[in-house]
């Protein structure tokens, strides 16, 4: 390659009510969780957080657009974070604490489709998988214990990324081809929501064998879009006890390399 891959990562958003506790009264913070950046950088990619372009901000849409960002980047990672708002998939929150982040939903959906339009690869992590599903007209269970009471625990605040469970790859899945038959199929679990109705054009790559909760999906459309429900960027902290995170990121970056050889659309003027 002439230069390292340039990978955009969606921003986590800390709205004014949360930012005030850090001394930013009336301000919004946008940030990148270190582990996901270092995970990509460890595989030779340059990482760039893509800030929101919100209505009412100081950025004029005539000056910069999401397409300008996409033209400059080779791929996109949708990182984890706050719940997807039920309003984004046309439901009302069952409880006030499950209202999610509608602002972030709209920003990430716009960004997702901008990358898909230019056929540049997208990888979703945890919330990122759920956002991909919703963007493709799917829906979510707002709370696994409430809506799927027979399911195993998928989140424990006290254990955080040390809560683990097994996954099962579908025989015809990309993940099964990437990992083969000897992989350690155990992952972390840090989510209380999960896919209910599968989005258009998505196929299931992996499930939790204990309860059938969907753990990975892949789009069958015009470009590479994949999501995993676990956080592969946290797996290196647990030695060989968890699924190797290398094949997931290596495949994503290889997809970006292949796409780089195809000319991008010219930047808008």
Query: Using one digit for the tens of pLDDT, what is the confidence trace for 139-196?
Result: 999 999 999 999 999 999 999 999 999 999 999 999 999 998 777 899 999 999 999 9
Q: What is the pLDDT of residues 193-242, one digit of tens each?
A: 999 999 999 999 999 999 999 999 999 999 999 999 999 999 976 667 89
Instruction: Provide DSSP, 1-57.
Output: --S--EEEEEPEEE-HHHHGGGT-TT--EEE--HHHHHHHHTTT-EEEEE----TTS
Q: In the chain, where are the structural domains located?
A: 6-260
Fold of 6-260: Rossmann fold (3.40.50)
Strand partners, 77: 9, 123
Backbone phi, psi, residue 67, to 5°: -65, -35
Q: Which of 33, 108, 205, 233 is catalytic?
A: 233
Q: Say yes or no to pLDDT of 47 above 80.
A: yes
Residue 262: Cβ-neighbour burial (10 angstroms; 0-12, 13-18, 19+):
exposed
Res. 269 pLDDT band, cuts 50 70 90: very low
Residues with Cβ within 8 Å of 56's Cβ and at least 6 positions away in sequence, in order, are: none
Task: Report the C-alpha gap between 162 and 157 in whole angstroms.
Answer: 10
Write out the E strands in the chain: 6-10, 12-14, 29-31, 46-50, 75-78, 122-125, 140-141, 164-166, 168-169, 186-188, 194-195, 202-207, 214-219, 225-228
pLDDT at residue 237, rounded to an integer: 67
Distances (CA, A) of 12 to 23, 32, 33, 74, 234: 18, 6, 8, 20, 17
User: 97 is written with which tokens?
Assistant: 């604490």
Residue 245: Cβ-neighbour burial (10 angstroms; 0-12, 13-18, 19+):
buried
On whether the CB atoms of residues 217 and 227 are closer than 8 A, the answer is yes
Q: Which of 154, 165, 231, 235 is catalytic?
A: 231
Would residue 238 show up in a list of annotated catalytic residues for this protein? no
pLDDT at residue 264, rounded to an integer: 57
What Rg value do the Cα atoms of the chain yield, rounded? Answer: 18
Block residue for tokens 């690869």: 121
Q: Which of 33, 108, 126, 235 is catalytic?
A: 126
Residue 121: Cβ-neighbour burial (10 angstroms; 0-12, 13-18, 19+):
buried
Would residue 194 show up in a list of annotated catalytic residues for this protein? no
């Amino acid at each position: 390659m002439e230069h390292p891959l340039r990978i955009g990562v969606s921003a986590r958003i800390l709205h004014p009510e949360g930012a005030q506790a850090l001394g930013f009264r009336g301000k919004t913070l946008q940030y990148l969780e270190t582990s996901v950046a270092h995970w990509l950088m460890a595989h030779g990619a340059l990482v760039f957080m893509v800030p929101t372009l919100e209505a009412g901000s100081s950025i004029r849409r005539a000056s910069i657009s999401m397409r300008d960002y996409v033209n400059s980047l080779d791929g996109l990672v949708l990182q984890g974070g706050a719940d997807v708002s039920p309003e984004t998939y046309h439901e009302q929150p069952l409880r006030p604490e499950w209202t999610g982040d509608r602002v972030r939903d709209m920003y990430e959906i716009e960004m997702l489709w901008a990358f898909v339009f230019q056929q540049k690869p997208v990888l979703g992590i945890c919330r990122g998988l759920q956002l991909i599903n919703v963007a493709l007209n799917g829906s979510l269970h707002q709370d696994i214990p409430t809506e799927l009471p027979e399911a195993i625990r998928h989140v424990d605040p006290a254990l955080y990324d040390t809560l683990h469970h097994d996954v099962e790859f579908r025989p015809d899945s990309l993940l099964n081809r990437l990992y083969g038959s000897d992989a350690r199929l155990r992952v972390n679990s840090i989510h209380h929501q999960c896919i209910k109705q599968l989005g258009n054009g998505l196929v299931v790559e992996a499930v939790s064998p204990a309860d059938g909760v969907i753990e990975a999906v892949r789009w069958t459309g015009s470009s590479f879009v994949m999501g995993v429900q676990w956080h592969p960027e946290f797996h290196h902290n647990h030695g060989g006890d968890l699924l190797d995170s290398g094949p997931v990121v290596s495949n994503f970056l290889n997809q970006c390399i292949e796409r780089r050889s195809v000319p991008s659309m010219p930047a808008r003027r």
